[in-house]
Chains A and B, each alone.
Chain A
Amino acid sequence: MNQDRRQILDLLAEGKITSEEAERLIAAVEKSDAPQSRAGGAVKYLRVLVDADDPNDGPTKVNVRVPMQLLRAGVKLTGVIPDRAREQVNEAMRKEGIAFDINKLTPDNLEEMIEQLRDLTVDVDNASAKVRVFCE
């Protein structure tokens, strides 16, 4: 519990403020705390770690770190694709069985996706290889 909340609860316990006032004050404190915690937990990199046992090369480790900014820049790059080429991309994806519309890939949608990626962890573990994909 942080200092501000403790003070509010102390004031409430002493009867100096009402429960409604305490509720409003706590809500205000939470609001001011929210941007700090979000900025602190911002996703910066996509990490891919592979630990494989190759029959030819022996134990192999792969460590890839991709900045999220690169993902954002890539999406911005899709914005300059001519309309005709966009249709071709969509058509090619449909042929592969992927129902995807490149027109819907916007920076706003991407931010939402990156926000969700914060909690993403993919672990693949079998006898010959371990793969871990996560964001940090």
Chain B
Amino acid sequence: MKGEILPPMSARMHVRPAGWRFGVKLWLPLFLLWLLLIPLLLVALPVLFAASLIFRFSLWRSLKAANGVLAASRGSEVEVDNRASRIFIKLD
């Protein structure tokens, strides 16, 4: 796990809403979300750069740390299961 540099590329979800007999299994391609966010990030870069000068923080270090948090979230798992409903999310 050490050395992960890429954010989670996909997520697995199992959802069984209350009142449903069967659940739904979903595979979410998160890489498509990152691809959509890259142009937005490019547009936001000048604003972030200006903010970094005003509030005196390192933009490069901030982006690196934010990416680090995203990358480190790979392998996270949350499952809540009760009689009425179930939800399971895993970031891969």
Residue numbers of A with Cβ under 8 A of B are 44-45, 54, 57-67, 69-70, 72-74, 76-77, 79-83
Contact = CB atoms under 8 A, between A and B. Distances in A.
A60 B81 contact: yes
Given A72-B72, A79-B65, A82-B56, A67 B82 contact: no
A70 B69 contact: yes
11 contacts: A57-B84, A61-B81, A64-B77, A65-B75, A65-B76, A67-B73, A70-B73, A72-B72, A74-B69, A74-B72, A80-B61
B37 interface: no
Contacts, number: 76
Interface residues of B, number: 27
Given A44-B1, A79-B65, A80-B61, A70 B72 contact: yes
B92 to A, nearest CB: 12
B41 interface: no
Interface string B2-31: 101000000000000000000000000000
Contacts of A44: 1
A61 B61 contact: no
Nearest to A78: B65
A73 B79 contact: no
B57 interface: yes
B21 to A, nearest CB: 16
A66 B84 contact: no
Contacts of A62: 79-81
Nearest to A50: B80
